[in-house]
Amino acid sequence: MHIGNRPIGPSHQPFVIAEMSGNHNQSLERALQIVEAAARSGAHALKIQTYTADTMTLDLDQGEFFISDDKSLWQGTSLYKLYQQAHTPWEWHKPIFDRCRELGMIGFSTPFDSTSVDFLETLDVPCYKIASFENIDLPLIRKVAATGKPMIVSTGMASVAELDDTVRAARAAGCNDIVLLKCTSSYPATPKNTNIRTIPHLRELFGCEVGLSDHTMGTGVAVASVALGASVIEKHFTLCRADGGVDSAFSLEPAEMEALVVETERAWQALGEISYGVTDAEKKSLQFRRSIYIARDVVAGEVLTSENLRCVRPGLGLPPKYYETLLGRKVNRDVKMGTPMSWDLLG
């Protein structure tokens, strides 16, 4: 499959998505700076989110609409105010996507309701992302799938049965290109709770591309996921965590994003194929193996012993596996110290 002009799959470098989310801190100038920093870091795509506070929740400051969990990054605010702070104004979308195109990146978004899909279609986005909290919203899944564009779905909290409903709904509605991202919906997530062994299982169960939407700190989990078949990596991205922002605590800074791009590509290159024996790159190193050498001058008829025959580097003599066989045999000529042992030296 392709997203924009980039092929996606195990035969290609992992597709790295920088998620801006609300890290623009309600500044278009900062949002565009984030796009530019993501491009410099080597990210292949930049993603934003398309919603308003009114399309997400009700304007209430009490009960379940207020975040009272003292372990939450957003404790002490209402859902409505959080989404007001985090949302990307719709009039910013075009300049953000335009800047992405200018810099050679793919720009796209996560829609959270049908109106946001309609809006994003007017901007001709190349693909769509479904957030973990919306992966059971089958009407939204069908709406996005009907565009015929690739769909990337985070799997946070979803059971196998729920994911089966999602994938079936997407395919039935016209989406042929689906990527499922293993995701842990805690902020930040811990490596221990990430369970990336699920990634190859997702590929096996649903026959689609797979990857990781990663909320852990650092890049280790994302790099490890490549070894398990992740072909898409999504990480939240900011200019500087110290600047604050709704997602800044678990977002990568530019130098970290650059390292992620480099190290995931290295991990992918290292996978290679099942291989034994000498590679082309190793041929010059064969000479540095141990082999059997004459270790001191010997004369014709002299018996080979542990004193005059040794296994040393380099590797131009007979292999060490013949050492015991050679002990006690006689040489047929005078041989100088440092001569590689060969069968034609035997009497």
Reported as a single tens digit per residue, the pLDDT across 204-229 is: 999 999 999 999 999 999 999 999 99
265 has a pLDDT exceeding 90: yes
Averaged pLDDT, 19-41: 96
Residue 47: pLDDT band (50, 70, 90) is very high
Q: Which residue has the tokens 């990663």?
A: 214
231 has a pLDDT exceeding 80: yes
CA torsion through residues 86, 91, 94, 95, sign: negative
User: How many residues are recorded in the chain?
Assistant: 347
pLDDT, tens only, 123-135:
999 999 999 999 9
71 has a pLDDT exceeding 90: no
Neighbours of 72 (CB within 10 A): 13
**202, 162 Cβ separation under 8 angstroms:** no
Residue 230: pLDDT band (50, 70, 90) is very high
* Residue 346, both tokens: 């035997």
CA neighbours closer than 13 Å in the CB half-sphere of residue 253: 7
Distances in Å between the Cα of 63 and the Cα atoms of 58, 77, 79, 84 are 12, 12, 11, 19
Residue 25: pLDDT band (50, 70, 90) is very high
Averaged pLDDT, 66-88: 85
Averaged pLDDT, 247-269: 96
**182, 196 Cβ separation under 8 angstroms:** yes
* Residue 262, both tokens: 């480099």
- The Cα 267–Cα 259 span in angstroms is 12
Residue 321: pLDDT band (50, 70, 90) is very high
For residue 324, what pLDDT is reported?
98
Measuring CA to CA, which residue among 246, 262, 259, 267 is closest to residue 19? 246
Q: Which long-range contacts (CB under 8 A, 24 or more apart) does 30-37 make?
A: 30/239, 31/88, 31/92, 31/96, 32/95, 32/96, 32/99, 33/239, 34/237, 34/238, 34/239, 35/96, 35/99, 35/100, 35/103, 35/105, 35/107, 36/99, 36/103, 37/237, 37/239, 37/254, 37/257
Residue 106: pLDDT band (50, 70, 90) is very high
Percentage, residues of the chain above pLDDT 70: 100
**51, 24 Cβ separation under 8 angstroms:** no
74 has a pLDDT exceeding 80: no
Averaged pLDDT, 41-48: 98
For residue 75, what pLDDT is reported?
85
Residue 86: pLDDT band (50, 70, 90) is confident
Distances in Å between the Cα of 83 and the Cα atoms of 60, 140, 216 are 12, 19, 22
Q: Which residue has the tokens 């392709």?
A: 2
Q: Which residue has the tokens 């997530």?
A: 189
- Least confident range from 16-25, 78-87, 188-197, 292-301: namely 78-87
